[in-house]
Structure 1
């Protein structure tokens, strides 16, 4: 479970072509082993964070960084990364830094229970 947030950040870094993961030495080692050609210098935008969203059918719910701690990786069907205009069109200004979209499995009872809990406190888009 503790690897979901770093993994999502690493995915965003690889897809966007910049190393958003540069603030974490562990992720720097991973990036250097992958030899992606991504920028390996210091990351200048440490306060810039993507919007993390869980999708349920057509509804989107933003979750905070600490919302990841309860997600079991087995619940995840897939993770999509949106950036640029496509992210801003759907999520407005908050999507301007990119969006990590987590789609949970529909047929997993524990995932559904977690999602019902998130819907009570998360921001709906």
Structure 2
């Protein structure tokens, strides 16, 4: 089961990067982000109150995932576009568990909590 998802949230921990063998082909690359998707509701005093936010793992499969792990940082505000996927598994006590994750098509960086931006040329050489 999956459904389209678009949400804005904060990265809650350092990104995790992993590679998986793919036979004779280039390895599959995964960047996993732990994101808190909040639900800010404006209050009368101009402040916001979070109502009903949730944590979700965000998986981004891409050949540039290794490079991107240095781009994303804990606390960064991101916009995630992808699909929710039901993930069934067994815990250490063999109890069936169900969680949801987000398989991202895109993860955009929003300009909140960013002090500076440095632009540089994309590395060449085989890419």
Fold conserved (TM > 0.5)? no
When Rg is computed on C-alpha atoms for both structures, the one with the higher figure is 2
TM-score, normalised via structure 2 length: 0.29
Considering fraction of residues, name the structure with more helix.
1
Considering fraction of residues, name the structure with more strand.
2
